[in-house]
Amino acid sequence: MNRLALAAALLASSAPLAAETHRVDPAQGAAALQEALILAAPGDVIELGEGRFTLTDGLSLDVAGVTVRGQGMDKTVLDFTGQQGAGEGLLVTSDNVTLQGFAVENPKGDGIKSKGADGIVYSGIRVEWTGGPKASNGAYGIYPVESVGVLVTNSKVSGASDAGIYVGQSRDITVAENIVTFNVAGIEIENSRNALVTNNIASRNTGGLLVFDLPGLPVMNGGNVILRGNVVKDNDTPNFAPPGNIVANVRRGTGVLVMANDGVLIENNAFQGNATAHVMVIAYTQSYDDPRYNPYARNVIIGPNEFGRGGYDPQIDGKEMLLAAFGGALPPVLWDGIVEDDNGLKIAAGVTGWSLNLSKPGQSLAEASPGPLDLTPLESWEFPHVGAPAALEARLK
């Protein structure tokens, strides 16, 4: 090749090609779908046709800026019922990816996992284990982790043996307008910061909404989480998490559980039919060896919420003693009372909350001395801006 031809070839290889749409229909098979994911260029759209793709292996995408779009969560289905191995249905490891309008059914592992994928958007996605709640189901339905900029919206997850929608070790997050049912945890925000969880329906799970901070993870010190405008009702599914899983400790009938997080605002939600408690705020009680970790729940604010019937059948040790102490049902807000530097739980005017007045993590409930929260009700509060960048939502317009 002469110098002129070589220069032309180099110039051509460095110039971005025009974005293209690649359509894949179920009749073309799994190989064609994975090939499209491998060969896509940044900016491309992979359009999935209507119907059922039958898959025996997981899929992966590692090209930035790609959109994978189906015809709707009930029209385009990626069926992993015959999947070999225990991996996720779809793994995304590239930035600025949009996943929209399709379903993932019966993966052996997680439904869709994105790792280190900044600017990830899940919209109109359904992940479902169609056999109902089982310990053998995959752990997570929608599972973004270690990411900056996460939007999960208008999606449905059912049957996850850990969390339907789980966002972990990430920041700048919005989880909005989703429906989560028959999971162990409906929505879980873990070791993450600046998260807005809003206008979701969490029903028939073991626990509705969880905000955790755990030790020993690469990203620590979660906080600045807002739970606003959600419907959290009838979370009555028996816990089916595999033994040893942290959410195996979540009690059937938990509405919201905040554990060891720093800065959580819970306001304008509607609670009904959560038999253990509508809102529980607790310290982390297990042993750990991580000098970075703070096991206390700090700066948790309970604003106005609609609290219906709840707390009438708590699945906790000392149930009879607690029901007797509380007159037949636990109060809407229950705090273990374990505090660091007087920055534990704050409540707005009109919110009924009680403390167990425990003094250290792991203390027996037999040592509890329940009493009304002796805190000055808040008239107003300020909270930092949270949520995903607006540019993520703009992709869907």
9 pLDDT band (50/70/90 cuts)?
very low
Distance CA 356, CA 365 (A): 8
Sign of CA dihedral 211, 217, 218, 221: positive
Question: Does the pLDDT value for residue 3 go beyond 50?
Answer: no
Residue pair 247/210 in contact by the 8 Å Cβ criterion? yes
Question: Does the pLDDT value for residue 13 go beyond 60?
Answer: no
Distance CA 73, CA 265 (A): 32
Backbone angles phi, psi at 36, to 5 degrees: -65, -40
Quick one: tokens of 53?
Answer: 């793709």
State the DSSP H helix or E strand holding residue 31, giving kind and residue range, or none if neither.
Answer: helix 30-39
Quick one: tokens of 352?
Answer: 């009924």
What is the maximum alpha-carbon separation in the chain? 91
Of 301, 233, 298, 227, nearest to 268 (Cα)? 227
Q: Is 61 helix (H, G, I), strand (E, B) or coil?
A: strand
The pLDDT tens digits of the residues spanning 234-247 come to 999 999 999 989 99
The model's pTM: 0.93
> Chain-wide mean pLDDT for the chain?
92
The pLDDT tens digits of the residues spanning 247-267 come to 999 999 999 999 999 999 999
**Per-residue burial over 231-253, b = 16 or more CB atoms within 10 Å of its CB, e = otherwise:** bbbbbbbebbbeeeebbbebbbb
Residue pair 159/136 in contact by the 8 Å Cβ criterion? no
The pLDDT tens digits of the residues spanning 335-367 come to 999 988 778 898 888 888 888 888 888 888 778
